[in-house]
Amino acid sequence: MRTLPGVRWEGAWTHIASREQMLAQLDQFYMAVDAMRQTGLPVPLDHVAATAPTLWGVGGSAARIGVGLYGASPGGQIRGLPLRTAISMRATVLYAKQFENATTLGYGGAGIAKPGECIVTLRLGYADGVPRALAGGGQIRLHGERCAIVGAIGMNFTMIRVPYGVTVRPGDEATVLGDEDGVRLDEVAQRSGTIPHQLITSLSVLSARQNV
């Protein structure tokens, strides 16, 4: 590397695997950095801290705060942090219907509307990044109320059960992801059986441009 023309070595980088392995990994990393420096290869920067290691107090010359910028704990590894979800995803209400009779909903009849219940259809689905796993217990906020997702999540549509007494009209907006109880990044990721990183990167470009 020292003999290659036009190459300037800026630094060395590693990614911490876990808090339990961190100290051992840092020892190995800095042994390698010291060895490079001893051979005359300058390594101006040592770059080790993503969101979690930064919060664990790891030093170094550079840090890369990724998912923490969005207000999520890194993979649920750190609890009780004063982080706020800094991303929002909203869906437009297309249709609201109050059912007179018990009616199955969605693909495979996975959900059931009970007599008297109001079911709202939202213009957002798994093609936009809404995890299909949320059909098993996910929530969406509408007019300040927590609304359970009912039925299977479709490619472009999602249905929710609206509490009694809440008036909903086409064009209203529901919050699928945001800084509210029930729809924060960590909560949605946990209910989806995934990590915040995957949830954020799965949002479609169109949804990101319109809603985020």
pLDDT tens digits for range 99-115: 999 999 988 888 999 99
Q: How confident is the model at residue 211 (pLDDT cuts 50, 70, 90)?
A: very low
Structural fold of domain 89-211: Lyase, Ornithine Decarboxylase; Chain A, domain 1 (2.40.37)
What was the pLDDT predicted at 9? 84
Q: Which two tokens stand for residue 205?
A: 């470009």
pLDDT in tens, 127-172: 998 999 999 789 999 999 999 999 999 999 999 999 998 999 999 9
Q: Is the pLDDT of residue 209 over 60?
A: no
Beta strands at 62-63 and 45-49: parallel, antiparallel or unpaired? parallel
- The domain spans of the chain are 11-65, 89-211
H helices, E strands: number in the chain = 5, 11
Backbone angles phi, psi at 47, to 5 degrees: -120, 105
pLDDT in tens, 29-50: 999 999 999 988 889 999 998 8
What was the pLDDT predicted at 178? 94
What was the pLDDT predicted at 167? 92
How would you write 108-162 as a 3-class SS string?
Answer: HHCEEECCCCEEEEECCCHHHCCCHHHHHCCEEEECCEEEEEECCCCCCCEEEEE
Residue 91 to residue 164: CA distance in whole angstroms: 21
In terms of average pLDDT, the best of 25-39, 41-55, 77-91 is 25-39
Residue 134 to residue 192: CA distance in whole angstroms: 5
pTM of the entire predicted model:
0.80
What was the pLDDT predicted at 208? 47
Residue 24 to residue 27: CA distance in whole angstroms: 5
What was the pLDDT predicted at 212? 41
Residue 1 to residue 40: CA distance in whole angstroms: 10
Q: How confident is the model at residue 207 (pLDDT cuts 50, 70, 90)?
A: low
Residue % of the chain over a pLDDT of 90 = 57
